[in-house]
Structure 1
Amino acid sequence: MTVAARATKATAWSRPAFRFLLSSEAVTLSGSAVSTVALPALAVVELRASTTEVAALAFLGQLPSAVTLWAGALSDRHPKRPQMIASDLAAAGALVTIPAAALVGALTIWQLCAVAVVLGAAKVLRDAAAISLLPALVDPDQLHDANAKLGAASSVADSAGTNAGAVLVGAVGPARSVLADALSFVVSAVLISRMRIPEAATAPRTRTSLARDIADGVRYVARQPTIRTVIAALSTLSFGLAVMNTYWAYYLLDRLGASPPVFGVIMGVGGAGGVAGALLAPRIAARIGIGPTIIVGFAVSPLAQMPLLCAGPSLRWQIVLAATLAVQLFWATASGTSQRSLRQALCDPDFQGRMQSASTTLTAGARPLAAATAGGLVLLLDVRATLAIGALLQVVPIVLLLASPIRALRTIPARTAVPPAREGAPS
């Protein structure tokens, strides 16, 4: 095999900077999964939080994810590696206060809420920087492979971290368990600091306010037909899924009689499907095309809800639901990896952070509204009908994608070097 042939077949793993990023993402996700078990256990079991306080903790933890435009603007304005390191250290510092306060008997639910806000803000800033940095770490033809590896590593790390969190909470208690998450952020900061890749210098531009940078980013996304369509499809799909997810677990556990262990098995089987989808996404896209891969992933989602709506309380149906969830998450991650790579390839480097934060804001911002919508629908209808409406809403993004040029895309286009409108130009 010639040197040229070997270079052509090189994957993202061949880039040392990408390996550091992948390791950093896996470490932080594993640690954060521990906290997803430890923090609720700490609030409910040790602090005896009321239902209102538990809801406040959950809401404040998710709030930064619904308002991420500022993070994207900062990511595009400043070097990304220092932002990732600062976010990791801020998260670690916030987490360390929990066992310290617990040790002296001063821990309160409101301190947990404050830590949740810091963690959420650190996460959105870190994610905006990391996702927008990725195209600079790998060659354009390695971008899909890089996203696939990140997606698979995320799924495995999340599952492993959740299991480790359950063990740690039982062994050392929830307050001390969060030290594992704090340590993961410190390790991540060290890994990111070892990256040795220069960030591309941006063209000199007039200094503008953060609000102006955000507005420029929103206008840029609005002027990119493919990026705009994908983000619109993602936000509508997120809304439909969130309507269903509001009562999905309740429906399985209460109406279909699934026990907690069976529920865990169903989720575990589905997670395995997600890992497979992430790993195989580049091969699927190479076989059927990047556009069809994205569209099939969206189309499978409403179809996969049909067994749930028809299911009854039996082992046979539980097996069917587990298999269906695995298929759904397989295509969801394959499609998600593909559409993320497509957006990154089409987006100008100067707008990568703001493009991603616009997507996150719309998709995450749709979930609280969807939960409220689901609550209102249940008052008028019943749980099964509410789930059916959520499934029906998931047809809308398929129509958006089929009506766009995405359906004809077979490969990921080359990255656009110049945005269609100059930054700071009037709309």
Structure 2
Amino acid sequence: MLWPVTPSDHRALSRPAQCATSSGLGSVPVAAALGALTLSQLMIVAVVQGAASVLHDAAAISLLPSLVDRSLIQRSNSRVGALFAIAATAGSHLGTALPAVLGPARALLGDITSFLISAGCTACIQAREPARARPKARRLREEISEGLRYVHGDEQLRTLTLVNATTFFALGLLNTLWALYLLRSLAVSATAFGVVLGLGALGAAAGALTAPALARRWGPGPMMLTALAITPLTQIPLLLASPGLHWEVAVGAALFLQLACASAAGTTQRSIRQIITTVRMRARMQAVSTWLTAGARPVAPLLAGGLGTWIGVRPTLTAGTFLLLVPLVVLARSPLRALRHMPDPPPLPGTGAVPVPSPHALRTGSPAVPTPARTDGDRPDRSPGGDAT
């Protein structure tokens, strides 16, 4: 929500967030070694890590369009999404092994190392930009209000942000209980459960990688609409399942398809939002989306836990499945449902002219290495957001 508009500004936000997370996590094994670890410290570290993650995510996603040509934004988002899916699964499996080897507190050293490596990689990002004078300082409340007004005032941004937030909320509710349902109600073994998780990660990676090709063939709007329509249907095998190998296979296949659809729609809508947003407002636009999706993180599990206790796990999963219809309806009622091509960038400030595509966009073949983005005056820009989940 702050003022960041240049690559250096985004790096300036991202690095402190990563370092703050590393410092907070680093205090845990130190306190454990001294016998002074308390629940209060763990809660403070969790709050710091959560806040830093939101700040880092908003800055990192907003930075990508400044590093690649506009013609490569969708492809770049798809590859980043695939890497995130693979890294999340590998990290989960590693996270189950490290505590057994090092102990719960010392296992956080792996997390600390990963954040420090990330901060180092961020510091190595190079992007040439002309020096620009910053605008006069304004109150944080004004910056936040401007970002909210900007997103709300643009029908496409408003629709895509709402689609992203409601999808994230529904999946957050379902993800809170589906593991419990598999392990307790369906008596799935630990090995089978790990295989199902792996299939889900493969689905997310496959969806991200195939999203650009699917969008080119069918159009971004119809592709996202189809993906959102399929997502609720993937919950049916889980709701109908009973203990047995054939149902485990069906649930694994359904999870693969669910995360493939969610990832394909997520990377596409993120790219659309980035393309249609001006450079100056891109960070605040992404901050609005990140704020909405991050705000769902504590609410969705609380609602899932309350409903699960009140009406039962399976009825709650059924309710979550119906919640997945909300983003479908939102997109279906929007003109975006018929979007056949990626949109044009916004007009250049003060000219009303649409930026001229770079040589990359005019080539039929794919450039081997993306060139750094040019200055605001001669370059189109863009990218979408979705947290996903």
**TM-score over 0.5 (shorter chain):** yes
Please say if residues 166 and 327 of structure 2, whose CA atoms lie closer than 8 Å, have aligned partners that are also in contact.
yes
Match of 1:129 among 59, 68, 72: 59
Instruction: Give a deviation string over 1:160-191, Cα, whole Å, max 9, x none.
Output: 22222223222222222212222222222222
SS class of match (2:209): helix
**CA displacement, residues 118-139 of structure 1 (integer Å, 9 cap, x when unaligned):** 2222211111111111111000
Q: In the alignment, residue 146 of structure 2 is paired with which amino acid?
A: D
C-alpha distance after superposition, 1:50-91 (max 9, x if no partner) = xxxxxxxxxxxxxxxxxxxxxx32535981112212222222
Among candidates 290, 293, 296, match of residue 220 of structure 2: 290
Equivalent positions of 1:343-422 (< 5 A) are: 343-378=273-308, 381-417=311-347
**Conserved in 1, the CA contact under 8 Å of 2:177 and 2:317?**
yes
User: Residues 109-188 of structure 1: matches in 2 within 5 Å?
Assistant: 109-188=39-118
In 2, Cα distance between equivalents of 1:379 and 1:171: 35
Q: How big is the shift at 1:302?
A: 0.7
Q: Describe the SS at the equivalent of 2:125.
A: coil
For the 8 Å contact 1:75–1:125, the answer to whether it is kept is no
Q: 1:124 to 1:183 in 2, by over 3 A?
A: same
Question: What is residue 18 of structure 2 aligned with on the other side?
Answer: 88
* One-letter amino acid of the counterpart of residue 198, structure 1: R
Is 1:191 aligned to residue 131 of structure 2? Answer: no
Q: Do the aligned residues in 1 keep the contact of 2:169 with 2:296 (CA within 8 Å)? A: yes
Q: Give me the whole-angstrom Cα distance separating, in 1, the residues matched to 2:131 and 2:156.
A: 26
AA aligned to 2:321 is A
CA distance in 1, matches of 2:16, 2:149: 29
Match 1:215 to one of 139, 145, 154: 145
Quick check: 1:140–1:414 contact (8 Å CA) kept in 2? no
Aligned to 1:324: 254
CA offsets 1:271-327 (integer angstroms, 9 cap, x no match): 111111111111111111111222122111111111112111111111101001101
2:208 and 2:260 in contact (8 A); partners too:
yes
Give the percent of matched residue pairs that are identical in Structure 1 and Structure 2. Answer: 43
C-alpha distance after superposition, 1:179-238 (max 9, x if no partner): 222222222222222222035766754431011000000000001111100111222223
Separation in 2, partners of 1:94, 1:351: 31
Contact 1:84/1:192 (CA < 8 Å) preserved in 2?
Answer: yes
Mean Cα displacement is larger for which, 85-94 or 325-334?
85-94
Q: Which of 313, 321, 333 is the matching residue for 2:263?
A: 333
Counterpart CA distance in 2 for 1:399 and 1:236 is: 11
**Cα shift at 1:152:** 0.9
Q: For residue 54 of structure 2, what is the amino acid of its counterpart? A: V
Q: How does 1:233-312 map to 2 (within 5 A)?
A: 233-312=163-242
Would the alpha carbon gap of residues 376 and 114 (structure 1) be closer, same or farther in structure 2, given more than 3 Å must change?
Answer: closer
Q: Does 409-418 or 368-377 show the bigger shift? A: 368-377
Once the 2 structures are TM-superposed, how far is the Cα of residue 147 of structure 1 from its aligned partner? 0.5
Contact between 2:54 and 2:291, CA under 8 Å: does it hold in 1?
no
Distance in 1 between the 2:119 and 2:134 partners? 29
Aligned to 1:56: none
SS in structure 2 at match of 1:75: coil
Backbone CA RMSD of aligned residues:
2.2
Structure 2 runs not aligned, ≥5 long = 351-389
Q: Structure 1 residues 378 and 246 mapped into 2: Cα distance closer, same or farther (>3 Å)?
A: same
Tell me, yes or no, if the aligned pair for 1:73 and 1:217 is still in contact at 8 Å.
Answer: no
Paired residues of 2:228 and 2:262 also in contact (CA < 8 A): yes
More helix by share: 1
Q: Once the 2 structures are TM-superposed, how far is the Cα of residue 418 of structure 1 from its aligned partner?
A: 5.8
CA distance in 1, matches of 2:171, 2:16: 33
Structure-2 separation of matches of 1:204 and 1:74 = 9
State how far apart, in whole Å, the 2-side matches of 1:306 and 1:203 are. Answer: 55
Distance of 2:349 and 2:158 partners within structure 1: 14
Instruction: Please give the TM-score of this superposition, normalised by the length of structure 2.
Output: 0.83
Determine if contact 1:79/1:199 at 8 Å carries over to the other structure: no
One-letter amino acid of the counterpart of residue 124, structure 2: R
